[in-house]
A = this chain, B = another copy of it.
Amino acid sequence: MIFIDWGTSSFRAWRADASGAVLDGVETGQGILEVPQDGFPDALRATIGPWLAEGEARALLCGMVGSRQGWVEAPYLPCPAGPAEIAAALMPIPFDAARLLLVPGLSTRDAAGVPDVMRGEETKLVGLLAELGDAPGLACLPGTHSKWARVGGGRVQGFATQMTGEVRATLLDHSILGRLAAPDAPGGDAAFLRGVRRARDSGGLLHHLFGTRALGLMGDLAAAETESYLSGLLIGHEVAAVLAGGAAPEGAVHLAGAEVLCRRYALAFDEFGLAHRLHDPDLALRGLMLIAEGLPA
């Protein structure tokens, strides 16, 4: 069987045998944003064509390839959902002599009825569930849109997205805050933690953001510290909001994602007295395999 994680900016595919042993893999930078509207079949043939020619008949795909901007939109599956519910909701697409199966995203609604969505992270969370079993817990997958998921009973019970990474990038690239920023100083932990601590003061995020500029103008923050400080502010506000919402877990927060980002989240968790457990970031393939276990042979 073939397993594919096709996101906004990257493409990864693996070929595995029935025992789950990986036979081959391919990785490209051709995320869905690089693929023209009708170009998905050709883009896929160019990468996994040889495997299909050798007789593979099924491919399981997760990520933004199943979004409105992707190949076909796979509707969001409401929480709670685990590997079995996801396997039952796969969207089939005929493809040459093979069959593609798109993993649906997940949706949830909070106490106020406001919706939230994820696409791609549900597969990583399934991979994480394999480690956590049925135990209840809180998982944090930091990123452009950080996902905080409540898990338990072997399923994703609900989640909340924090737009931290995208807000940071947008403000640095397009607001007045970026004008004072120079490339990050090596070892910006002190400035990062200063931002995390500032997030615990009153005044609100919109006030603290402007403070980044005021600190720079008054000579209280170096240009090379601006990025780290701003990250600290935003991640600090993210963690403070999660804790204020009553989501603090009894055990450690399960943290998985890019190494640099996880390191910063771990620093912020320490500052808030929040225990964490770091997991292998490469959860997508494991999640895909677990979803595939729920399929008829």
Interface residues in chain A, defined as those with a beta carbon under 8 Å from any beta carbon in chain B = 68, 76, 107, 110, 112, 114-117, 145, 160-164, 166-167, 170-171, 173-176, 198, 201-207, 209-211, 213-215, 217-218, 220, 234, 237-238, 240-242, 244-246
Contact = CB atoms under 8 A, between A and B. Distances in A.
Q: How many copies of this chain does the complex contain?
A: 2
A160 B207 contact: yes
A214 B175 CA distance: 24
Given A214-B117, A215-B115, A207 B174 contact: no
Contacts of A202: 241, 244-246
A147 to B, nearest CB: 10
A244 B117 CA distance: 30
B166 A176 contact: yes
Counting from the closest, the 9 A-B pairs by CB-CB distance are A204-B241, A202-B245, A163-B210, A161-B210, A115-B218, A162-B206, A174-B174, A163-B209, A115-B214
B167 A209 contact: yes
B211 A234 contact: no
Contacts of A174: 170, 173-174
B171 A206 contact: no
A273 B234 CA distance: 29
Contact of A204 (B112, B215, B220, B245): B245
Nearest to A220: B115
Given A76-B217, A204-B244, 12 more contacts: A116-B210, A117-B213, A164-B206, A167-B206, A170-B171, A170-B175, A203-B241, A204-B205, A205-B205, A205-B206, A206-B234, A206-B238
A162 B176 CA distance: 13
Contacts of A215: 114-115
A162 B207 contact: yes
B170 A214 contact: no
